[in-house]
C-alpha cells in the first residue's frame, strides 16, 4: 500500500539515479517528501539511503509504495520496461512522471498503456543539466492532464524552479525537443565561431568566456523569444522596430564575419544560412 499523502505531501518514487536522476532524487529527499528509490547500481542507492530515502528492491516494489513515480532512465526502451514493471504492482491512481527525453510519439503510447491499469502518466523532460538538478533549479516541461499535473506538482517543484504545464500528454516532450533544437544548433554555431577565431589567431577559450559573460547579460538566443506567434510582423507592431534593428546589426556583422571566414578559408555554413534567414525568421 502506498503511504497516505498528508502534510508532508505525496509519497514519491524515483527510478534511475544517474548523472541527472541522482541529484534530482537528492533534492526530493531534502524536500521532506516521503521518498522511495530504485536503481540497478548500488552506489547511488547508498547515497540516497544516507539522505533519508527508502531503498526499494525493485521498480514494482517502489511503485506499490508511492503516489507519484518519477522515471529518469536512458531511453525509450528503458522507460517502457520501467513502466511495464511498475504496472504489475501499481495501485489505481498512481501518477507516473517520465523525465527521460523520448521520441515524440512515446508519451502518448505509454499513457494509453498506463490508463488501462488506472494509472496516469505525465511526460516531464528537464533542462538545466546536472548543475540545475543539484541546485534544484531545473526547468521542467510537463505534458498531461490537470489532475495528474496537480498530483505531481509538489515533487516537480522540489526539483525545479521553472515548472511549465505545456499541454496534454506529449506536449512536454515536444517542448523539450524545440528547446534542444536551439541548444544543439547553437553549439554547432559555436564551433563555427571557434574555427573562425582560431584561424584569426585568437584565444578561443577567451572567446568562450566572453560569450558566456554577454549571454548572461543579454539572455542569449532567448532574448528574441518574446512574441506569441511566428507570423509576419505588421509595420506598426512594437516588435517590427526592435527586430528591424536586430536584422540591421545582424546583416552587418554576419557579412563581416563571413567575409573574414572567406579570407581565412574557414567553412561557416550556418553563418551563411543566418545571413539568408534571420530577417524572415524574425517575422520581417
Question: Which residue numbers are catalytic?
Answer: 176
Give backbone dihedrals phi and psi of 218, rounded to 5 degrees, phi first: -90, -20
> Residue 25 contacts by C-beta under 8 Å, 6 or more apart in sequence?
14, 17, 35, 37, 44, 48, 53, 70
CB 94 within 8 A of CB 115: no
Report the DSSP pairing between strands 138-143 and 126-127. Answer: antiparallel
Contacts of the segment 227-236: beta carbons below 8 A, 24+ positions apart: 227/283, 230/281, 230/283, 231/283, 232/283, 232/284, 233/282, 233/283, 233/284
CA end-to-end span of the chain: 59
The C-alpha angle with vertex 130 and arms to 127 and 133, in degrees rounded to 5, equals 70
> Residue 274 contacts by C-beta under 8 Å, 6 or more apart in sequence?
189, 250, 254
Amino acid at each position: 500500500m502506498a503511504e497516505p499523502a498528508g502534510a508532508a505531501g505525496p509519497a514519491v518514487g524515483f527510478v534511475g539515479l544517474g548523472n541527472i536522476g541522482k541529484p534530482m532524487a537528492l533534492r526530493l529527499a531534502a524536500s521532506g517528501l516521503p521518498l522511495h528509490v530504485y536503481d540497478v547500481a548500488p552506489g547511488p542507492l547508498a547515497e540516497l539511503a544516507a539522505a533519508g530515502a527508502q531503498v526499494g528492491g525493485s521498480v514494482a516494489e517502489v511503485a506499490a509504495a508511492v503516489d507519484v513515480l518519477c522515471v529518469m532512465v536512458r531511453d525509450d526502451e528503458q522507460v517502457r520496461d520501467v513502466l511495464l514493471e511498475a504496472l504489475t504492482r501499481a495501485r489505481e491512481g498512481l501518477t507516473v512522471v517520465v523525465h527521460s527525453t523520448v521520441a515524440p510519439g512515446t508519451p502518448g503510447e505509454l499513457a494509453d498503456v498506463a490508463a488501462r491499469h488506472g494509472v496516469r502518466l505525465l511526460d516531464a523532460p528537464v533542462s538545466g543539466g546536472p548543475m540545475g538538478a543539484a541546485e534544484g533549479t531545473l526547468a521542467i516541461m510537463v505534458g498531461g492532464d490537470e489532475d495528474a499535473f496537480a498530483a505531481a506538482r509538489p515533487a516537480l517543484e522540489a526539483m525545479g524552479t521553472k515548472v511549465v504545464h505545456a499541454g496534454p500528454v506529449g506536449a512536454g516532450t515536444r517542448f523539450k525537443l524545440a528547446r534542444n533544437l536551439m541548444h544543439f544548433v547553437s553549439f554547432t554555431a559555436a564551433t563555427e565561431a571557434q574555427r573562425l577565431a582560431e584561424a584569426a589567431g585568437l584565444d578561443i577559450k577567451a572567446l568562450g568566456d566572453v560569450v558566456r559573460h554577454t549571454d548572461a547579460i543579454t539572455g542569449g538566443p532567448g532574448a528574441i523569444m518574446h512574441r506569441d506567434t511566428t507570423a509576419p510582423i505588421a509595420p506598426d507592431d512594437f516588435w517590427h522596430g526592435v527586430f528591424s534593428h536586430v536584422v540591421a546589426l545582424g546583416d552587418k556583422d554576419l557579412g563581416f564575419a563571413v567575409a573574414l571566414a572567406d579570407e581565412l578559408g574557414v567553412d561557416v555554413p550556418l553563418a551563411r544560412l543566418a545571413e539568408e534567414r534571420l530577417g524572415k525568421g524574425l517575422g520581417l
